[in-house]
């Protein structure tokens, strides 16, 4: 079976490795001119078990994530402590490990190949145009990110999920040389919720010799908004020096529920292309690695059972991949409901919830990891008691949590087999919840 992986994202690279190990003819097409130029000059957090299950070592330079301190819109701080923190891994080192693993498995990785558009035939994706050349394939795996050009140029008859402008995070991220003359920071990992009252977050993370600065806003990040946020972050964190030693670019990260249409004949989305990030955080390494295993199992199991290449790449078979993902990550749909609700809270209400004792440390940790809150009756009674006379302000929050749980439950009821009418009905009902 001939497979093209468009883009060397985490999910695409791991799928390439697993499919090549299974005997498929796999080619990865990546725009960067080399693995060193793949733009990921930062660290991201991921559970070490996710890397272990994927057969990947902890990349060189990895370290346990430090505890976060949340800064509420009113400026008050709320700390948290994790007994088993994720690992902060250097993305460029992880990329190198993954490219090497894919090549060792037999996949071809071609750098300097800008994927421009899909090739279609008889209602199916049959390849891509990249670097001015046509590459044909039985299956194209789209790992090009939220704004994938493959999705943009698909004919209308091939249905995959697109995002709305408010469902992506526009991010500026840079590592500033630490100001050696400034006193040590009181908090090492400060995360500003609804920073300056705007829809998004900012952070200042104290590394050994640098300060990791992120400014992120939902939907758009105009220059004026960015400069104003940077000015405020720098005023509050004098450890931030003037020199940028890495990063300094803008990026787009999906912060929405997974694509309810992530497959078509000859085509499958993975990673950011399928919106597999945790909606509250934008982190998608663990889920993308898991998705790669699901996709490769789906394709290889069909081939081992005697299916033709075309049948293995059909929407009927690839739907099994989507079913596996939604059943494992239906909670992402509920987390998106909570994310949207939090952004809609008044600054005063959000500040109260974050900095009071309404949420205990375990619940704060769940939010920090993008988990769906499932408070018990005992938890709700405790939360109401902690709120005191302001308990009435928790009613919208309680309703939001209940709605999120119902949405996650419905998402997990994805049709087991691909039936156009049943799938349309499920997709329409799911999308209406947002």
DSSP-assigned states of every residue in 54-116: TT-PPPTT-EEPPPPEEE-TTS-EEE---SSPPEEEEHHHHHHHHHHHHHHHT-EEE-S--EE
Residue 330 has pLDDT above 80, yes or no: yes
Please give the class, per CATH, of domain 166-254.
Answer: alpha beta
pLDDT digit string, tens, across residues 391-409: 777 788 888 999 999 999 9
For residue 424, what pLDDT band results from cuts at 50, 70 and 90? very high
Residue 306: predicted pLDDT? 98
Residue 378: predicted pLDDT? 86
Vertex 237 angle, CA 235 and 241, to 5°: 90
Q: Dihedral sign, CA of 375, 377, 380, 386?
A: negative
Residue 90 has pLDDT above 90, yes or no: no
Whether 59 contacts 90, CB under 8 Å? yes
| H/E run at residue 19 | helix 10-21
Residue 234: predicted pLDDT? 97
C-alpha span between 384 and 398 (Å, rounded) = 10
Residue 289: predicted pLDDT? 97
Domain 2-64+86-164+260-329 fold is: FAD/NAD(P)-binding domain (3.50.50)
Residue 133 has pLDDT above 90, yes or no: yes
Whether 114 contacts 30, CB under 8 Å? no
User: Helix (H, G, I), strand (E, B), or coil: what is residue 383?
Assistant: helix
Q: What is the DSSP string of 159-212?
A: ------GGGEEEEEEEEEEE-TTSPPPS-SEEEEETGGGSSEEEEEEE-SSEEE
Task: Pick the range with the lowest mean pLDDT from 129-143, 162-176, 222-236, 345-359.
Answer: 345-359
How far CA 405 is from CA of 76, 243, 255, 322, 396, in Å, comes to 29, 45, 18, 20, 14
Tokens read off for 360: 């205990």
- Nearest Cα to Cα of residue 87 among 118, 56, 116: 56
299 or 82, which is more confident: 299
Residue 432 has pLDDT above 80, yes or no: yes
Residue 205: predicted pLDDT? 95
Residue 387: predicted pLDDT? 80
User: Helix (H, G, I), strand (E, B), or coil: what is residue 51?
Assistant: helix
C-alpha span between 143 and 330 (Å, rounded) = 21
pLDDT digit string, tens, across residues 8-57: 999 999 999 999 999 999 999 999 998 888 766 778 899 999 999 999 99
Residue 356: predicted pLDDT? 87
For residue 227, what pLDDT band results from cuts at 50, 70 and 90? very high
Residue 114 has pLDDT above 90, yes or no: yes
C-alpha span between 247 and 250 (Å, rounded) = 9
Query: What does the pLDDT average to over 219-233?
Result: 97
- Nearest Cα to Cα of residue 197 among 282, 110, 72: 72
Residue 200 has pLDDT above 80, yes or no: yes
Residue 39: predicted pLDDT? 67
Residue 390: predicted pLDDT? 77
Give the rounded percent of residues in the chain with a pLDDT score beyond 70. 100
Residue 317: predicted pLDDT? 98
Q: What is the DSSP letter of 42?
A: S
Whether 396 contacts 348, CB under 8 Å? no
Residues 301-305: contacts with CB under 8 Å, at least 24 apart: 303/1, 303/22, 303/23
Q: Where are the domains of the chain?
A: 2-64+86-164+260-329, 166-254, 332-411
Whether 271 contacts 145, CB under 8 Å? yes
Mean predicted lDDT score pLDDT of the chain = 94
Residue 282 has pLDDT above 90, yes or no: no
- Where residue 272 falls (left for φ over 0; alpha for ψ -120 to 50; beta otherwise) is alpha
């Amino acid at each position: 079976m001939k497979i093209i992986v468009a883009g060397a994202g985490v999910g695409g690279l791991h799928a390439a490795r697993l499919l090549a190990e299974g005997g498929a003819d796999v080619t990865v097409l990546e725009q960067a001119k080399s693995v060193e130029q793949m733009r990921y000059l930062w660290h991201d957090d991921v559970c070490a078990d996710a890397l272990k299950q994927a057969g990947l070592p902890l990349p060189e330079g990895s370290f346990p994530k430090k505890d976060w301190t949340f800064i509420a819109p009113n400026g008050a701080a709320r700390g948290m402590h994790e007994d088993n923190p994720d690992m902060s891994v250097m993305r460029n080192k992880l990329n190198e490990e993954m490219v090497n693993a894919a090549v060792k498995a037999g996949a071809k990785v071609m750098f300097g190949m800008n994927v421009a558009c899909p090739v279609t035939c008889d209602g199916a994706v049959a390849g891509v145009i990249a670097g001015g050349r046509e590459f044909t394939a039985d299956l194209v795996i789209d790992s090009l990110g939220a704004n994938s050009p493959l999705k943009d140029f698909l004919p209308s008859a091939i249905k995959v999920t697109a995002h709305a402008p408010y469902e992506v995070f526009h991010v500026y991220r840079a590592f500033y040389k630490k100001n050696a003359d400034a006193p040590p920071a009181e908090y090492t990992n400060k995360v500003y919720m609804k920073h300056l009252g705007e829809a998004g977050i900012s952070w200042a993370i104290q590394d050994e010799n640098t300060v990791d600065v992120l400014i992120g806003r939902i939907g758009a990040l105009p220059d004026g908004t960015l400069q104003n946020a940077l000015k405020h972050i720098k005023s509050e964190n004098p450890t931030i020096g003037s020199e940028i030693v890495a990063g300094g670019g803008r990026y787009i990260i999906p912060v929405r529920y997974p694509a309810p249409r992530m497959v078509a004949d000859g085509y499958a989305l993975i990673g950011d292309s399928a919106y597999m990030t945790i909606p509250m955080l934008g982190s998608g390494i663990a889920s993308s690695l898991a998705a790669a295993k699901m996709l490769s199992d789906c394709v290889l199991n069909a081939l081992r059972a005697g299916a033709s290449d075309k049948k293995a790449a059909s929407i009927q078979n690839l739907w099994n991949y989507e079913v596996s993902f939604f059943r494992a990550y239906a909670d992402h749909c509920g987390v998106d409901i909570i994310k949207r609700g939090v952004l809609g809270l008044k600054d005063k209400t959000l500040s109260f919830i974050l900095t009071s004792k309404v949420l205990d440390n375990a619940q704060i940790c769940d939010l920090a990891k993008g988990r769906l809150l499932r408070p018990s009756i005992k938890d709700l009674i405790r939360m109401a008691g902690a709120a005191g006379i302001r308990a009435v302000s928790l009613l919208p929050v309680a309703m939001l949590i209940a709605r999120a749980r119902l949405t996650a439950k419905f998402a997990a009821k994805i049709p087991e087999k691909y039936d156009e009418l049943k799938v349309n009905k499920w997709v329409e009902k799911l999308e209406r919840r947002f």
